Amino acid sequence: MKGLVLGVVVLAALFSSSIVTEDAWGAILYNVTDLGTLGGTSASAHGINNDGHVVGVGGTGDGGPRAFLYNEGTMLNLGTLGGTYSEARSVNNSGQVVGYSTAANGSDRAFLYSSGTMQDLGTLGGTSSRAFSINASAQIVGYSDTGTEGHAFLYTAGSMQDLGTLGGISSRAYGVNDFGQVVGESSTVSYDPRAFLCSNGSMQDLGTINGQHSIARAINNSGQVVGSSETSGGQYWHAFLYEGGSMQDLGTLGGSTSHAYDINSHGQVVGQANTSGNAGTHAFLYSGSVMWDLQDMIDPASGWRLTEARGINDNRWIVGKGMHDGQSRAFLLIPVPEPSTFALLAAGTLALVACTWRRRKPHCRHPAMR
């Protein structure tokens, strides 16, 4: 009996750990959903909020691809700013969406979609701009043509601020957290693109994994940054996690290359990586110091090949793109069972063992029987 109690304690510890998608047998399972299209044959998902709202771009079948907002089985076409193309890249927990769209003159323009309306965010003096991320306070980041070069921007309350560079001529911002910390890439004085963290108006070079080039894609509220960097010799790129002043190489799925695109509040990272022998590219989840192949976590009879994970929320739902029955489609992965189910299962199992342990005592009975 003592061995049974010990086993349940270990089981409960697993359920309460940060890797709540891992079951007691070591298998990590997800339900996979094809988000559909806007009438065409293809779609790609780029971001997800904590309510499960997903954004991306989908084919329409009778025109250019359009930005979409997906919620509970419905994919909404967000339209354009007058042109033929639009793409949504991020959605906050208020349901506000950012991305970019062609305008009537054909130039790309950053947009904010809120309350059913798509708003042009303008530029830094040039003709084009793109938005990539939005935080809880509706601060938006991206990059814009200044008239001569492209610079990273932070858009707040109707004003677009030029974030400058690391000494070079160009920069792009890709992620922003709820404290207004911005990450992206910038050229240096030596023209090498480097990952940066911009905080309180100061832009910091995050370095590389022994290479020359790096790019930061996302930052969470703990200040953890993810992206990808050249490795030694500059031959390959590897996903990285930057925290505490140090850039950690997250490795690959057995191949030579990986890229990280998003990180949630639990420090779990998603992206894409080459498999052994560079035979293919698979979506990955990095959790518990291990890079997991998401292809191994779904039903092998599902008809899916998951090639790229782009977003993960705090409920550990993951979105991206892959091939489904020969078509390029957006996917949504939801843990099975969900974290709440694990907690209930662990609590119920502990209660059952405790009751069994004391079964000879009259007070160990269902409340209704007392």
The reported pLDDT for the residue numbered 102 is 98
Give the pLDDT band (50/70/90) at residue 203. very high
With a cut of 50, say whether residue 89 has pLDDT above it: yes
The reported pLDDT for the residue numbered 26 is 41
The reported pLDDT for the residue numbered 56 is 98
Average pLDDT along the chain? 87
DSSP string, 299-333: -TTS-EEEEEEEEE-TT--EEEEEEETTEEEEEEE
CB 155 within 8 A of CB 110: yes
Question: What is the C-alpha separation between 296 and 301, in angstroms, rounded?
Answer: 11
Q: Mean pLDDT, to the nearest integer, of 193-218?
A: 96
The reported pLDDT for the residue numbered 350 is 44
The reported pLDDT for the residue numbered 42 is 96
Other CB atoms within a 10 A radius of the CB of residue 245 amount to 8
Q: Mean pLDDT, to the nearest integer, of 84-103?
A: 98
Q: Mean pLDDT, to the nearest integer, of 234-240?
A: 92
Question: Kindly report the CA angle at 311 between 306 and 314, in degrees rounded to 5?
Answer: 120
Each residue's pLDDT tens digit, 43-72: 999 999 999 999 999 999 887 899 999 999
Question: What is the C-alpha separation between 75 and 86, in angstroms, rounded?
Answer: 14
Give the pLDDT band (50/70/90) at residue 338. low
Domain ranges across the chain = 30-344
CATH architecture observed for domain 30-344: 7 Propeller (2.130)
Give the pLDDT band (50/70/90) at residue 27. low
196, two tokens: 């940066």
Of 342, 260, 293, 252, nearest to 19 by C-alpha is 342
The reported pLDDT for the residue numbered 62 is 82
Q: What share of the chain is helix, strand, coil (3-state, %, to 5)?
A: 15, 50, 35
